[in-house]
Amino acid sequence: MNPPDVVLAELRALRAGDLPTHGGRTLAYVYDSGMSEVDSLGAAAHALASSANGLDPTAFPSLLKMENDLVLAASRLLGDVPGVVGSVTSGGTESCLLAVLAARDGRPSPSIVLPTTAHAAFHKAAHLFGLRRIDVPVDPVTFRADPAAMAAAIDDSTVLVVASAPSYAHGVLDPVPEIAAAALERGVRMHVDACIGGWVLPYFARLGADVPPFDFRVPGVTSISVDLHKYAYCPKGTSVLLHASAELRRTHYFASASWPGYTMLNTTIQSTRSGGPLAAAWAVVNHLGSDGYLKLASAAREAVSRIRSGIEEVPGLRVLGDPVSTLVAFTGDDGFDLFTVADEMKARGWYVQPQFAHLSSPVNLHLTVTAANHGSEKEFLADLAASVDAARGAGPVTVDPAVAEFVAALDPATLTSEQFAGLLAAAGLGSDAGLPDRMAPINALLATAPAPLRERLLLEFLGALYTP
């Protein structure tokens, strides 16, 4: 046996190689309140309930109560409309999956209508649950869903219409009332994906921001997803899926009595469900309360507003769309490579997330701004300006035209694993290469690959990573 302190020391050493989850320097994946007691409370509550199993709420009534409390808190925040029910899930993707699953059996060969900016979780849902996806182009400049085009895309096979509040990629709010009205008129369900905005936009509104309506007060909205592990600043592993009525929710529940074991009764995709994330979220939400969240929203709002105007002052940078929330995506002029800017930021201790070009959306860098970013905006902006200068100085990242041509001609459907291994090695992503320090050359090559090929290449890469 290895003594616990030795094992923990090893774990700490491993964690030291990760991106920092606190301090505001990682502007993707993590949501930092900047309040250490929030983290310690979450961890303590997690430890208290992690052995309890949400599989049977009658055996663990504490979990039942905490889940009902969280659903009620989310429902109060998102319109406070009577009749709203919900489920706590493991994350935003699971909430979106269940919203689609709940709707699926409404038509014989079902489809979902979604803007091209909807989160890829809906692509996953269509893939897993066998629905057709009708991707509706968004406004090419504002990146907001086009309500007339969405309405026109609804047909007799549509079981769900989706809008984002806001979209992840650009942080812009879709015109929910218009889209919901079209869905209502056709008798189709309408889901608002507020995974990333649902716990912060209501507070922005209280702080005086102009936030167009997107919650259950909008006629036609039948479900909303909101992640607790984003702007509710809870430890990872919790989201809420709300439905306007218990009847709408029932179709994502699952029961099986047709086997010799216990009757399996599930509200979500999971069956055994750790009480840990739920208890952690319950504790954090209880601790912070509306006044705590209002303060955190105020800090995040101040930070995002300073960062956005700072970006607009850096020559050559341009913010995409009109972000309403805590997300900012910006692109650059032709004089430098944005992937190099990301690498330069990394060298200066900041993680910013590159996004590839997609339809009218150019290649860009994405920032998830949280309360913890307040106070270091100037430092961030100074490093960003320096990184842009460095990228200009470094010149363009060129992909050998022969390689680009070769890649463009590849058909992911007919390539073998060996050929992929060769390609990955050529791209610097070979199985024994380890993780490269500078991603710009790799991203530049990946950017030349059409999306299906990029998906396949990165899946091969993932498979290589997850080989013990």
Asked, as a colleague might, if the bond just before 468 is cis with ω within 30 of 0, I would say: no
Question: What are phi and psi for residue 384, nearest 5 degrees?
Answer: -65, -45
Q: Which is nearer to ligand PLP, 242 or 427 (CB)?
A: 242
Nearest-CB residue for ligand PLP: 92
- Cβ at position 165, least distance to ligand PLP in Å: 8
CB-CB contact of 224 with 248 (8 Å): no
CB-CB contact of 185 with 156 (8 Å): no
Distances (CA, A) of 21 to 32, 34, 264, 265, 362: 7, 10, 37, 36, 28
Residue numbers 156-215 binding ligand PLP by CB under 6 A: 164, 168, 193, 195-196
Q: Residue 54 and residue 61: Cα distance in Å, rounded?
A: 9
Q: Which is nearer to ligand PLP, 60 or 168 (CB)?
A: 168
Helix (H/G/I), strand (E/B), else coil: 244: coil
Nearest alpha carbon to residue 162 among 216, 110, 222: 222
Q: Which is nearer to ligand PLP, 233 or 420 (CB)?
A: 233
Is 96 near ligand PLP (CB under 6 A)?
yes
Q: Which of 33, 75, 87, 93 binds ligand PLP (CB under 6 A)?
A: 93
Q: Residue 331 and residue 358: Cα distance in Å, rounded?
A: 13
Binding window for ligand PLP (CB under 6 A); candidates: 90-98, 251-259, 299-307, 370-378: 90-98
Q: Which of 42, 91, 177, 332 binds ligand PLP (CB under 6 A)?
A: 91
Q: How many residues bind ligand PLP (CB under 6 A)?
A: 13
Is 121 near ligand PLP (CB under 6 A)?
yes
108 C-beta neighbours (distance < 10 Å), count: 7
CB-CB contact of 276 with 49 (8 Å): yes
- Cβ at position 227, least distance to ligand PLP in Å: 5
Q: Between 126 and 165, how does the x/- string for binding to ligand PLP read (CB under 6 A)? A: --------------------------------------x-
End-to-end CA distance of the chain: 22
Provide the angle, in degrees to the nearest 10, between the axes of the packed helices 451-465 and 417-426: 90
Q: Which of 227, 343, 344, 383 binds ligand PLP (CB under 6 A)?
A: 227
- Cβ at position 358, least distance to ligand PLP in Å: 15
- Cβ at position 118, least distance to ligand PLP in Å: 8
- Cβ at position 117, least distance to ligand PLP in Å: 9
Q: Residue 364 and residue 354: Cα distance in Å, rounded?
A: 6
Is 87 near ligand PLP (CB under 6 A)?
no
- Cβ at position 340, least distance to ligand PLP in Å: 26
Binding window for ligand PLP (CB under 6 A); candidates: 88-96, 242-250, 318-326, 338-346: 88-96
Is 119 near ligand PLP (CB under 6 A)?
yes
Q: Which is nearer to ligand PLP, 77 or 96 (CB)?
A: 96
Task: Find the angle CA(270)-CA(245)-CA(272) to the nearest 5 degrees.
Answer: 10
Q: Which of 24, 34, 92, 202 binds ligand PLP (CB under 6 A)?
A: 92
- Cβ at position 313, least distance to ligand PLP in Å: 27
- Cβ at position 257, least distance to ligand PLP in Å: 31
Q: Residue 41 and residue 138: Cα distance in Å, rounded?
A: 42
Nearest alpha carbon to residue 297 among 214, 373, 216: 373
Q: Residue 189 and residue 69: Cα distance in Å, rounded?
A: 25
Binding window for ligand PLP (CB under 6 A); candidates: 76-84, 85-93, 315-323, 348-356: 85-93
Q: Which is nearer to ligand PLP, 173 or 288 (CB)?
A: 173
Q: Between 265 and 304, how does the x/- string for binding to ligand PLP read (CB under 6 A)? A: ----------------------------------------
Handedness of CA 304, 305, 306, 311 (dihedral sign): positive
E strands, 168-281, in order: 189-193, 223-227, 239-243, 254-256, 264-266
Q: Which is nearer to ligand PLP, 125 or 445 (CB)?
A: 125
CA 127 and chain centroid, separation: 18
Positions in the binding site for ligand PLP (CB under 6 A): 91-93, 96, 119, 121, 164, 168, 193, 195-196, 227, 239
